[in-house]
A and B are shown apart, each in its own frame.
Chain A
Amino acid sequence: MCLLYSALLIGPNWETSVLVGGTVFNQLVLWRPGGSKGDSQSQVERRLLGHSGVIFSLCYLQSARWLASASDDRSVRVWNVGVLGADGGCGVESPTCLRVFYGHQARVFCVRLSPGCVFSAGEDGACLLWEWEGNGRVGQTLKGHRSGGIRSLAVSRGGGWVATGGADGGIRAWRVLEGTRLVDQSKEADCQIDLGFSGRGCPKVVRSLGGRDAVLVCTDQGEVLLHQDESWQTVWNGGPEFQSYCVMDVAPVQFQDASLWVCAVGNLNSGVQVFALHHPNSGVLLQAGQGKVHALQWVQGDRLCLLASGAEGLVYRWTLEVIEDKTGLGLRLEKQKSFLLPTCAKRWLTAAVRLPRGNGSLWVCGDRRGSLLLYREGELCEESEVDRENREGGSKEEQGVWEDENRWPESTVNDIAPISPVNTLFGVHGKQGVTSVCEHQGLFYSTGRDGCVRVLTVDRNTLKVRRVHRASKGMEWLEKVMFLGSEISDMYEVIERRKQDGEEEERSITDSGLEIEGVGQKKRDTFNEEAELKKTIGINLEDSGSERFAEARFVMVGFHSIQFVLWDPLTRDKLFSVTCGGGHRSWAYIFPSHTQALPSSHSLREGMLIFIQKGAVMSSRSLTSKATHVRGHTLKDGLHGRGLSCICHLGSVSRGGLSSEEWEVLVTGGEDTTVSVLAIEPGQGTVKVLAVLADHISNVRTLAAVQREPRQKGGSNSRTNTSSLSTFLFSAGGRAELQCYQLLIGWNEQVNWPVCQVTQVAGHRLDEQWERRRNRHKTVKMDPETRYMSMAVVHESIEEILVTLACSDGAVRLFTVRVESRKVELVWENFYHQRCVLSVASYSFEDPQGKQHVLLFSGATDGAVALWDLTTVLDSKSMDSWHGPSAPCFSLPVHQSGVNALVISNEVGPMDKDIITVASGGDDGQLSLMKIRMQLRQEVVFPELLSHWTVPLAHSAPLTALGALDCATLVSTSPDQRVCVWRVCHDGLQNKATVFSHTADAAGLWVWHKKGSGLQSRDYVVVCGQGLQVLELTNGKDPERNEKE
């Protein structure tokens, strides 16, 4: 007898079958269970030794006579076992190990074989395709699950399709095409081509002119060269002035229905040469102050604008106009007021974007110090103080027009008062600087070398960070974002797949162009439909402007150690990767030729990177799985990759009108440190992930929400017949971290499902001061690593929200979150419990005099429940002067060990308004119910315990979550995987129903009543743990499985 972790039965019938077992002793054992006669146990006939961990998965391929095993030791082994089963018996006498594959970063959970190919997948979330030929290299890496790894794997008979099932509950299917599997070595070498730069000196800056074959390079010899038709030609030579240092930027400009390229080159001595690429002699030399031109950038707008970042933080600006004169083409540059950057070291501009506003423009810029700056021009009222001061100095604004060969008269430079930013987010992207800013659908996106993308809004004169998105671990240097086309295209692709039947699937061809021809009329229809949809969305995006609900889908572009990477944050997929040597180099990514305005994530794989490496100009395709080889499809969205610890129901949104389609909006927090906003349609069982909030650095243990009336803005009538939700969401957990978001959930009629807009309001950590200490790596942090265990909203008003937190260091803490100033402050903490506080619940009521009272219950690991009167916090005008209670007004041992859940409800009857019901669930499996009368004497609460009932073994495992549908109905759950409904009777608690739940490790629960007319009103329970499940409480109060996830 021995524990088995995996087993495989091979053979046509029981008598001749062979059983392979993967044992806890790291062996593969083979025996014939049906082979023995009588009662005697059959003996193990073969033992395959080699693994150093338990065996998780086995696969046998008859045609090759291979047996494959996947193990805890992170390796996959393929054994030559001969023919198993039937006449083959247990195969060859002494099986040998043919291959050992080490490539996974964690446990390997599954292995599958197909001729010439081994597929393996595991805890690291990667599915690796090992090619048998060519010494067993990794042919492809398929990634795309949220976290927690891949748990199951299936490969179609021919090996053309691979499906992976993730720990996140997601299912992805991948097209792995035959024939392309064996990329021969010579082809691979072609991936990276030296463009054979032949000019003098060293190339320093590279820019793409759109097409695959048009590359512009600027050298340290002050020359600009163009690569076209496989040859290099010098476009412009700047002479000695432009040698040893130069910066360059190029941009397209429209002129009389034609597009031409203008190029700007800056030098060490403030000179900036601007010329049209095909008329290099029509150039203009501009003067950008004095000293080095740090950076040059063309910015699109109603007129193309050139920014040159010079000395002392001055950014010189010119607008460009192409004119036609006697000699042909001319450039007219009109000097604009300069921008002034904030004082700091490395004071130069790195990014800029412009948006027309009113009669002027709005500029969002980024600098090398990591600051984001907002400038306004052309609007008289919007001048900052610095601006005014400068003017008092007597300088006079002046504008001039210089044409052609004219040089900027130096005398006037100082006369122009620079514009100071109206708002600065100093150093927001860290000390390594901002790398790009751009605008898309009314939102601004900035990237920096802190590995973050910040989504920004401009509210009058203030730049506000709405959200921060972090790239994958190790990808600290982001260069920019690229927006993706609507995800509809992805969806349609899947539909296409589904429409094809098996035969056709196998025949579909690599190239997308061919694919259209290959399939019938039916398919062409979907294509048209898709195009239609895209068109309507395109239109919609334009009119909706800044009132956009959801953020756009984008891909992060940056460097991951020595690689240039395009990374899809949603699918967590590396779309494109080129080993170029890392950051600090000039690069240009060339979109694949067939890409429309906004590319799909698939097409981005086929792009090309031009970069400079060791003095050579290189062109490279991605070495990672090419789009033509692999196409991933999400058949089902993934949720959290690891356990869900908390859940909260926000409300529902509907399409409105006659449609009865209603989506329930839920928020979940998990061990994978993320918070997910989900929409669930209980009727169909559809789940849609609306947003993933990944700001927490540790696990998320608790959630709380405050509903707000949705903003009603005049003019936006389009959504009046649909419902929407506005909520302040709080999440808290490990490392004593608290986050606050504002969520706006509404219906998007174009895509026909709910969408969610997320604004990060505030974040707070108890040990933030420690993080800011300079030499912290040298000292030992003495503070406890506090975790927040539970949270409750105590009070809310328009300006501020009060939340209490149960803390693992033994404290109950009260924080105020100020919405407008986005500040979180600690106002009270009390260490009464002296043990880890596990749960908090709050209750507020109005006394007969109309005075509001706030009560708080807290429970700790010793089983005690304490009651706190926090009423005075409402009276204190300023939080600083308020000293919270030093002791609870009531404390009672309720459980033997930890109090995991607390729920408060009050009686419905008008007579018993001062009686509240406190239900608690404990680690001891007990459910307890207390009725407490809240007596008031001189406005002070005196609690009186009226009754206390317990159900000692309500669950055979810890009771982890509890919810109250009303004061008479409780629902509890536990890791024993039961959901129990309890009825509060006059003499105690009665078990009304128990149902088995598929959610293991149940940790959170939410119960809600859905109003409806008559029979349409429903009661729902949602349980979360390893996955989540929605149950409906039917009339007889028997929970009925409605839909599971």
Chain B
Amino acid sequence: MGRSSKDKRDIYYRLAKEEGWRARSAFKLLQLDEEFNLFKGVRRAVDLCAAPGSWSQVLSRKLRASNESCEEVKIVAVDLQAMAPLPGVTQIQGDITKVSTAQEIIRHFEGQAADLVVCDGAPDVTGLHDVDEYIQAQLLLAALNITTHVLKPGGNFVAKIFRGKDVTLLYSQLKIFFSMVTCAKPRSSRNSSIEAFVVCQNYSPPDGYIPNMSNPLLDHSYDVDFNQLEGPNRIIVPFLACGDLSAFDSDRTYPLQLDSNKEYKYLPPTQPPIQPPYQQACHLRKNNLLAKEDLPSALLGLGALNLGTEQETDASTRETH
């Protein structure tokens, strides 16, 4: 299939490389902003689970462009792992489930709360469907939790959500804290993916709510008919597809030659993937050192045993939480 096949399969992947975004997801935030005007008047923004940093890139470019007083704009990017530096973005390498991280964010804003919190974090997809969906929900709630520590009343929160079996339950949680919750699907997010974004506007926590990091948020009683509740109990979160219809279609496969005036050129990814968990295993496989049943045992000694002694040099961090 070759290296250019991904360019054909995914037009936004190709565009992201052309425009210098670290990931195609940059377009999703841009299209969400087109619809919801998210960046208007924002001076302090937080990007949770920021790596590889495409949303921070968007925040940095858009907030500075729209704001005359560039100096006042402060962007904090939080991730567990280190991220290549971005101009105008303060990075915190920390855990979003820790109060200390929230405190650090506020410190960067000189004691003030954030106007906007965004989170594009997703778990490493394991292929175990229910696990992925559950972890994503947990991640969203962790992001919501830290948001209640740092967001100013009236502020906005945008986060990735998987539209799975428990999505209504998540909506109900979000509606406790925000007066307006919308499920939005940017055109750059593929139709075939269950991914969508919750745009939560006007942060208004319940009276007397005290932020607490160990809130067991996903702990509702919940039944089959929850999605179809009638009357005032029904949780209505409108769906909105956003982005211009004339924009590129993320599901369409395009020929490599998009424009007859411009010849196609393969561009390498802006940000090559970071150390994957299976690096060591791949190294072993490449050198034929993985243990196999039908290998002579002499070889096996190398594959399985010696590794046991050289433990633990590679306690590397993961892509996301």
A residues sitting closer than 8 Å to B (CB atoms) are 1-3, 5, 24-26, 41, 49-50, 52-54, 56, 71-75, 97-107, 109, 123, 128, 130, 134-141, 148-149, 151, 167, 185, 188, 563, 577, 579, 623-625, 642, 780-787, 808-810, 834-836, 838, 861-863, 896-898, 900, 923-926, 952-953, 955-958, 975-978, 980, 991, 994-996, 1000-1001, 1026
Contact = CB atoms under 8 A, between A and B. Distances in A.
Nearest to B139: A3
B213 A1 contact: yes
27 contacts: A1-B97, A2-B97, A50-B312, A52-B280, A74-B277, A74-B280, A100-B304, A101-B304, A102-B284, A135-B304, A780-B256, A784-B8, A785-B5, A808-B252, A836-B253, A861-B251, A862-B249, A898-B191, A898-B251, A952-B238, A953-B238, A956-B227, A957-B165, A958-B191, A976-B165, A978-B224, A994-B225
B16 interface: no
A53 B185 CA distance: 31
Contact of A923 (B97, B138, B185, B307): B185
Contacts of B240: 896
User: In this complex, which of A185, A953, A980 has the most chain B Cβ atoms within 10 angstroms of its Cβ?
Assistant: A953
Contact of A955 (B126, B138, B227, B316): B227
Interface in B130-176: 130-131, 133, 135, 138-139, 142, 163-165, 167-168, 171
Given A783-B255, A861-B251, A956-B163, 16 more contacts: A24-B321, A54-B126, A72-B278, A101-B291, A102-B280, A102-B281, A103-B290, A103-B303, A139-B293, A785-B9, A836-B251, A896-B240, A956-B167, A956-B168, A978-B224, A1026-B129
A783 B8 CA distance: 8
Contacts of B289: 102
Interface in B1-47: 1-2, 4-5, 8-9
Interface size class, chain B: 35 or more
Given A101-B304, A136-B304, A958-B194, A782 B255 contact: yes
A780 B8 CA distance: 11
Contacts of A577: 294
B297 interface: yes
A53 B320 CA distance: 11
Interface of B: 1-2, 4-5, 8-9, 80, 95, 97, 123-124, 126-131, 133, 135, 138-139, 142, 163-165, 167-168, 171, 185, 187, 191, 194, 213-214, 224-225, 227-228, 236-241, 245, 249-257, 264, 266, 277-281, 284-285, 289-294, 297, 300-301, 303-305, 307-308, 311-312, 314-318, 321
B236 A784 contact: no
Nearest to B223: A996
A834 B252 CA distance: 9
A138 B293 contact: yes
A52 B279 contact: yes
B251 A957 contact: no
Nearest to B236: A953
User: In this complex, which of B241, B252, B277 has the most chain A Cβ atoms within 10 angstroms of its Cβ?
Assistant: B252
B309 to A, nearest CB: 9
Contacts of A898: 191, 251
A975 B164 contact: yes
Contact of B304 (A26, A103, A896): A103
Contact of B315 (A52, A149, A625): A52
A920 to B, nearest CB: 14
Contacts of B168: 956, 976
A952 B234 CA distance: 13
A41 B225 CA distance: 36
Nearest to A3: B138
A304 to B, nearest CB: 38
A655 to B, nearest CB: 37
B277 A52 contact: yes
B266 A71 contact: no
A793 to B, nearest CB: 24
A624 B292 CA distance: 10
Nearest to B257: A782
Contacts of A862: 245, 249
A579 B74 CA distance: 64
B310 to A, nearest CB: 9
A75 B281 contact: yes
Contacts of A834: 249
B2 A781 contact: yes
B180 to A, nearest CB: 16
A97 B317 CA distance: 20
A1026 B130 CA distance: 10
Contacts of B225: 994
Contacts of B1: 785
A150 to B, nearest CB: 12
User: In this complex, which of A56, A74, A109 has the most chain B Cβ atoms within 10 angstroms of its Cβ?
Assistant: A74
A780 B129 contact: no
Contacts of A101: 291, 304
Nearest to A893: B245
Contacts of A952: 238-239
A563 B5 CA distance: 33
B164 to A, nearest CB: 6
